[in-house]
Amino acid sequence: MKKPMVIPVWLTVCCFAGASGAQQLDELAVDVAPTLEETAAALETATGLQDIRREGMLVFTTPFTVPDGFGDGPFDPNEVDPLAFGHRPTLQGNGTLLRVNGLDAQSCNECHTIVKHSTLPPTLGIGGIGGMVQNAIIMPSLIDVADSADDRVGYALGHDPDLPLEPDGVADYNGRFANPPFLFGGGGVELLAKEMTVDLQWLLEVARLSPRGTVVALVTHGVNFGAVVSRGGGEVELLAEGIGLESDETPEDVLVVRPFGRKGENFTMRDFDRGAMQFHFGIQPVEVVGAGVDEDGDGVTDEVSIDEMTVLHVFDVTNPRPFIEPLDPAAERGAQLFEKLGCVSCHRPVLETRNRYLPLAFPEVPNDPKANVYGFIDLVQVGFDPSPNGGVYVPLFADLKRHDMGPRLREDFERGEIPNTDFTTARLWGIADTAPYIHDGRATTLRKAIELHGGEARPARDAFVALPHEEQAYLIGFLEKLRTPDNPNEELLLP
Ligand code: HEC
Ligand code: HEC
C-alpha cells in the first residue's frame, strides 16, 4: 500500500501556496516539505515522482530572504577565516551581498537559466547553464583588476615569461572562476558515479585480501583509475589517477568518484547542493550545521531542512537528459574524426550502468553509496534508455575522471584540494547549446574550446589543429548535434 493520505496534505499546501503569492511560496520552500518517508513512497509512482519534482523545483527557484537566513550574520571579529562559508564580510558592509566570494544570488535558478544558448533569443528554462555574468567567483583574496605595476603575486603564472612582473595585461587572481553547467541528465551521472565507487571500493578490498605484490587494476565501467598494489597483511599502496582529494586520508577516502563541479569535487548532486546553499546564499543546511544550531549567528536556525534538501536532490537527479540529433553524413564523418583523434579516450560517448534504479541515501556516506538508502528513482522513467543488461545508457561523452589539462587552463587557486591544472572531463552531451565553454566560460566557440586543450589532451588537440579546415568543420558539426533537452521541466510549471 502506498500512503495516499499523507501526500495530499503537503500537496494541498503546495497548490495553495503556489497560487497565492511570494510570501506563501517562500514559507513553503523553507518550512514545508514531505518527509524522507513520504518522498520515498511518492517516488514509487509516476504522479508521486512528479509531485516531489515540483516541490524540489520550488526549492530550486525560491529567492531566499534575510528572514530565511540569507547571509552570514553580523560581522564577528573573532572569526578566523573571512573567506570561509558562514563568516564572510559583505561588500561595503551592505549587510547582505558580497558577490566576489558567494552571497551572490537569491535563488539557484538565478544562475542555472539558459537551456539553449544556440537559439535567438536564447531559450530560457529551469536548470540550465549560465552565461558569463552568472559565473561564480570562488574564494579569492586578490583580484588585481588594475594590473598593478607592483604585482603583488608571488607567482608568474599566466604572465609572458619574457616580460617583467609589471603591467602586462594579466589581472592576477587567486580564486576560482566557474561558469555554471546545467543539471540535465544528472541522475544518470550520479548512478554511474555510485556504481563506480562501489566497484573501486570492492577492488581495494580485493587488494587488501590478496598476497603481497598482487596488482589490482582499478578499472570500472571501462574507465581506468590506476591500480592498487597489495603490500601484504591488508596493507596496500594506491597508485590512483584522476580521483581523490588532497585531504583524503585513507585509500577508501580516495576511491570515491566525484563527477560534480567542474573540478570534480562532489560525489552526489546533494553533496554539491549543500555547499551551494552555503556559498551562494549563506543558507546553512540542517544536515551540515545540525538542527536548532545558528552556525552563522544570523539569528535564524534550521535555514534549510533535510526534507527540503531531499526534494531538491530529487529535482536535480530527475532533470531530463540531453539528446543526440540524427547524424547526417557530414556529422557521421565528424563522429569518426572525434574517435580517430582520441577525443573519446576522455569524452566516452556512452557509459552503461548495471542497474536502472538510482539509490538515494541519507545521510550520505561518500565511500559507501549503499549505506542509508531510503528510496530509488527509476531512470528509465526519467528518460534514459534501458540497456539489455538491466541498466541504462548514459550518453554523456565523459569518463567521470579528472585530467591534467595543461598550463593554459591552469587556475591560480590557492586553497584547492585538487591540482590547479586538473578538471573532470566536461560532459559534452548538450554541448551545441551551452556556450560559453571551458570551466570559466572563456571560450566563446567550440573551436576555441578544443584549441585550449593541453596537458593530457595535447595530442588530441594537436591532431585537431592539424586537420584541414573542412575536417575540423565536420567534427564541430558533429558536436552541434549534441543538444540539450527541449522544454525541460515544462510540465512542472503547468497548473
Ligand atoms: C552565482 C551562480 C550560481 C548559483 C546561485 C547557483 N549555482 Fe549551481 N553552479 C554554478 C557554478 C559556477 C557551477 C560550477 C561550480 C564548480 O565548477 O565548482 C555550478 C554547479 C552546480 C552543480 C553541479 C553540476 C555538475 O554537473 O557538475 C549543481 C548540482 C548545482 N550547481 C546546483 C545548484 C543549486 C541546487 C543551487 C542553489 C542552492 C545553485 N546551483 C546555485 C553557479 C551557480
Ligand atoms: C585528456 C582528456 C581529454 C581529451 C583527450 C579531450 N578532452 Fe575535451 N575536455 C577535457 C576536459 C577535462 C575538459 C574541461 C576543461 C575545462 O573546463 O577547463 C574538456 C572540455 C572540452 C570542451 C568544452 C566543454 C564545456 O562544456 O565547456 C569541448 C568542446 C571538448 N572538450 C572537446 C574535445 C574534443 C573535440 C577533443 C578531441 C579533439 C577533446 N575534447 C579531447 C578532457 C579531454
Which CATH number covers residue 468?
1.10.760
Which residues are 229's β-sheet partners?
Answer: 215, 237
Q: What is the pLDDT of residue 377?
A: 97
Structural domain ending residue among the three candidates 254, 271, 291: 254
List the residue whose alpha carbon is closest to atom 26 of ligand 1.
260
CA 409 to ligand 2: nearest atom: 18
Interval 182-216: pLDDT, tens = 999 999 999 999 999 999 999 999 999 999 999 99
pLDDT for res 270: 98
Q: Are residues 340 and 430 in the same domain?
A: yes
Range of the domain at 198: 186-254
Pocket of ligand 1 (CB under 6 A): 60, 104-105, 108, 110-112, 130, 134-136, 178-181, 183, 260-263, 269, 272-273, 276-277, 280, 312, 316
Domain boundary (214, 231, 254) is at: 254
The verdict on 203 and 327 lying in the same domain is no
Looking at the fold, whether 476 and 335 belong to one and the same domain comes out as: yes
**Ligand 2 and 345: CB distance under 6 A:** yes
Q: What is the pLDDT of residue 75?
A: 82
Q: Is residue 343 part of a domain?
A: yes
Residues of the chain where predicted confidence (pLDDT) is lower than 50: 1-30, 154-155
> Angle, nearest 10°, between helix axes 329-340 and 469-479?
100
What is d(CA 224, CA 490) in angstroms, rounded to the nearest whole number?
A: 38
Query: Measured in angstroms, how far is the CA atom of residue 251 from the centroid of ligand 1?
Result: 28
Neighbour tally for 321: CB within 10 Å: 25
Model's pTM, two decimal places? 0.93
* Residue 64, in any domain of the structure: no
pLDDT given at position 67: 96
Confidence at residue 354, expressed as pLDDT on a 0 to 100 scale: 98
Q: Give me the number of domains the chain comprises.
A: 2
Domain boundary, last residue among 205, 231, 254: 254
Nearest CA residue ID for atom 1, ligand 1: 136
CA 43 to chain centre: 23
Contact 343, 459 (CB under 8 A): no
234 & 380 share domain: no
pLDDT of 168 reads 73
> What are the φ/ψ torsions at residue 211 (nearest 5 degrees)?
-65, 155
Cα 479 to averaged position of ligand 2 atoms, centre (Å): 12
Report if residue 213 sits inside a domain: yes
Domain membership flag for residue 335 = yes
| Predicted pLDDT at 171 | 85
The atom of ligand 2 lying closest to the CA of 423 is: 12
